[in-house]
Amino acid sequence: MEESRSGPKYKRIVLKLSGEAMAGSRAYGIDLDTVRIIAKEVYDVHNLGVETAVVVGGGNIWRGLQAQKAGMDRATADYMGMLATIINALSLQDCLEKLGVDTRVQTAIEMREVAEPYIRRRAIRHLEKGRVVIFAGGTGNPYFSTDTAASLRAAEIEAEALLMAKRVDGVYDKDPLFDPSAKQFKYLTYLEVIEKGLGVMDSTAASLCMDNSIPIVVFNLMQSGNVKRAVLGEDIGTEIGGD
């Protein structure tokens, strides 16, 4: 892969990983071989000198909305989902540290025996010292998605971009996994994402990025080297930004 002569496009990023990505080809749970591959992608970006934060979902372990439909209290279901993200974060931390990457997990729900509580200034200091920071526990509040948590953390730490790693090549007008006629967008505005209801992220997350002028890059995590390509500013996936 040919690297940009000017180096990385972004100096500080938030990488959003879905919980489903941690499951690999499994229907649920954690596939450690897949997590090791993801860790290597983060490792390669870290080696570029990019200050890297990661937000993980928990859908491979627990999905709060499905539990709500089955009759569970929504807030309780969401808190359980937050705990699932912490399990995923710890597995990613372990894989990163086995690659020699100094990593900290910070949680929105305090559990000091296994992770640090989320403290904005401490997170920024870790990044400045070259550590990867994994944000877990969502926002710490029910009714908010991990996409919203990623947008919030990106704004708080003044990240230059939010990278949304998906199982498809970008944002499409239809679901490309079910409709072969789906067409990919190369560029969208925040308002188009919200108004078209494209499903790449919820409206709260998109609004947070819009209000703070944080560009979003949506790309395929399953293609090796794509996280690094996104950081280098190569033309992959779909970019979401202003008018």
Segment 147-186, tens digit of pLDDT:
999 999 999 999 999 999 988 899 998 888 788 899 999 9
Determine what percent of the chain falls in helix, strand and coil, rounding each to the nearest 5. 40, 20, 40
In the prediction, which pLDDT does 66 show? 83
- Check whether 84 has a pLDDT greater than 50: yes
Q: Who contacts 69 (Cβ-Cβ below 8 Å, separation ≥6)? A: none
Distance CA 238, CA 82 (A): 28
The CATH number, out of the four listed (3.40.50.720, 3.90.1150.10, 3.40.1160.10, 3.30.465.10), of the domain defined by the range 12-241: 3.40.1160.10
> What integer pLDDT is reported at residue 229 of this predicted model?
97
Closest CA to 151 of 185, 196, 190: 190
User: Measured between alpha carbons, how far is 154 from 216 in angstroms, rounded to an integer?
Assistant: 10
32-46: pLDDT as tens digits: 999 999 999 999 999
Task: Tell me which residue of 145, 186, 124, 119 sits closest to 16, measured CA to CA.
Answer: 145
Q: What are phi and psi of 190, to 5 degrees?
A: -55, -45
Res 10: pLDDT: 97
Binned at pLDDT 50, 70 and 90, residue 4 comes out as: very low
Rounded Cα distance, 92 and 128, in Å = 20
Band (218; pLDDT cuts 50, 70, 90): very high
* pLDDT score of 119: 98
Report d(CA 44, CA 182) in Å as an integer: 32
Distance CA 142, CA 20 (A): 20
Domain segments of the chain as ranges: 12-241
Per the prediction, the chain carries an average pLDDT of 94
pLDDT in tens, 177-204: 788 899 999 999 999 999 998 888 999 9
Residue 54 in 3-state DSSP?
A: strand
